[in-house]
Amino acid sequence: MSITSPHLGSPSNEWTDARLLYALEEVVETELNRHLKVTKDWMPHEYVPWSDGRNFPGFFEDGEAWEKGQSKVTEVGRIALVVNLLTEDNLPSYHHEIATLFGRDGAWGTWVHRWTAEEGRHGIVMRDYLLASRAVDPDKLEQFRMAHMGEGFESDNRHSMLHTVAYVAFQELATRVSHRNTGHHSGDPVCDRMLARIATDENLHMIFYRNLLKAAFEFAPDLTMQAVRDVVVDFRMPGHGMPGFERAAAQMAIGEVYNMRIHHDDVLAPVIRFLKIMEIDGLGPEGMKAQEELGLYMGGLDAEASKFDEKLAARKARMAARAGA
């Protein structure tokens, strides 16, 4: 999909992925330099309660089998931690996707590798925490990892660099929110502190892609509007293919780690509002149509989220009544 660019003058000139990559290179370099100035390196091992660790059964005669009661992490925290870690485990596939779309040269390539290196810390520290604190069944965690990665991963937006930029602008924020809320609901201050550190990285990644998306709107507003519409309407978290994801997502929704209300209020709306996407004018017919459809979708999602809020409140009331009986 491409449109005639009003910035290039000639009607024969149309935006393609290759031309947009070139046009955005300077923006990528600026954002990369900004990111490197504000980001802070951190050591994953410093966030892990190593003194809580002990041997598991297997090669060690003194190995102790895992049981739920060995960890202070709540049930919803345990579920969310597994989902979040399995999502992080697919980093090799994510790297392949963006390296293929963005390239490995120049500022784009430097960002691809830097992002991958920073994301790598997340999986390292989460797995070390989970094993040292015995927050999850280690055998099931490894079985899930093998099954999830064995299936492979293909992004819904692998066909388009612009769709990918739009997707990650929202997805990085969604990941930040999921990690942060998991920490809040984990019941363990150590876990909360670790996930807060991860969430800080995810927020900086979101800012990088959000600013890149802003530049894309300046270059190719109609194309970018269509990409945002497509991504928002068909949005799925990258871990959707993992074993038991639908059930885990439902439990995370009820546990208020991540649900429709959070997705609307804390992920989609902030990016749309910051970039003033619904206020962009001067669009062509396709861009205007995409903008209108985006607005209608957001309105519908807000209404659906309100229905979910009512059901969740009713559920809480029933549970409170049972507890007081």
- The model's pTM is 0.91
| Residue 163 counted as an annotated binding residue | no
Q: Cα 284–290–291 angle (5° rounding)? A: 85
Q: Is 112 left (phi over 0), alpha (psi -120 to 50) or beta?
A: alpha
User: How far is the C-alpha of 208 from the C-alpha of 115, rounded, in Å?
Assistant: 10
User: How far is the C-alpha of 115 from the C-alpha of 121, rounded, in Å?
Assistant: 10
| Residue 172 counted as an annotated binding residue | yes
Give pLDDT < 50 ranges for the chain.
1-12
* Amino acid 325: pLDDT: 65
User: How far is the C-alpha of 184 from the C-alpha of 51, rounded, in Å?
Assistant: 23
- Count CB neighbours of 241 within 10 A: 16
Report how far apart, in Å, the C-alpha atoms of 46 and of each of 36, 38, 141, 172 are.
22, 21, 23, 24
Nearest residue to 6 via CA among 201, 259, 282? 282
- Count CB neighbours of 33 within 10 A: 11
End-to-end CA distance of the chain: 61
**What is the chain's length?**
325
User: How far is the C-alpha of 97 from the C-alpha of 116, rounded, in Å?
Assistant: 11
Tell me phi and psi for residue 14, to 5 degrees. Answer: -125, 150
| Residue 119 counted as an annotated binding residue | yes
Computed on alpha carbons and rounded to an integer, the radius of gyration of the chain in Å comes to 22
Domains in the chain, start-ordered, CATH in brackets? 17-51+66-316 (1.10.620.20)
User: How far is the C-alpha of 169 from the C-alpha of 214, rounded, in Å?
Assistant: 10
User: How far is the C-alpha of 313 from the C-alpha of 46, rounded, in Å?
Assistant: 39
- Count CB neighbours of 153 within 10 A: 21
Give the pLDDT confidence of 210-260 residue by residue, as tens digits: 999 999 999 999 999 999 999 999 999 888 888 889 999 999 999 999 999
Secondary structure in 3-state letters for the chain: CCCECCCCCCCCCECCHHHHHHHHHHHHHHHHHHHHHHCCCCCHHHHCCHHHCCCCCCCCCCCCCCCHHHCCCCHHHHHHHHHHHHHHHCHHHHHHHHHHHHCCCHHHHHHHHHHHHHHHHHHHHHHHHHHHHCCCCHHHHHHHHHHHHHHCCCCCCCCCHHHHHHHHHHHHHHHHHHHHHHHHCCCCHHHHHHHHHHHHHHHHHHHHHHHHHHHHHHHCHHHHHHHHHHHHHCCCCCCCCCCCHHHHHHHHHHCCCCCHHHHHHHHHHHHHHHCCHHHCCCCCHHHHHHHHHHHHHHHHHHHHHHHHHHHHHHHHHHHHHHHHC
Please, which residues bridge with residue 14 across strands?
Answer: 4
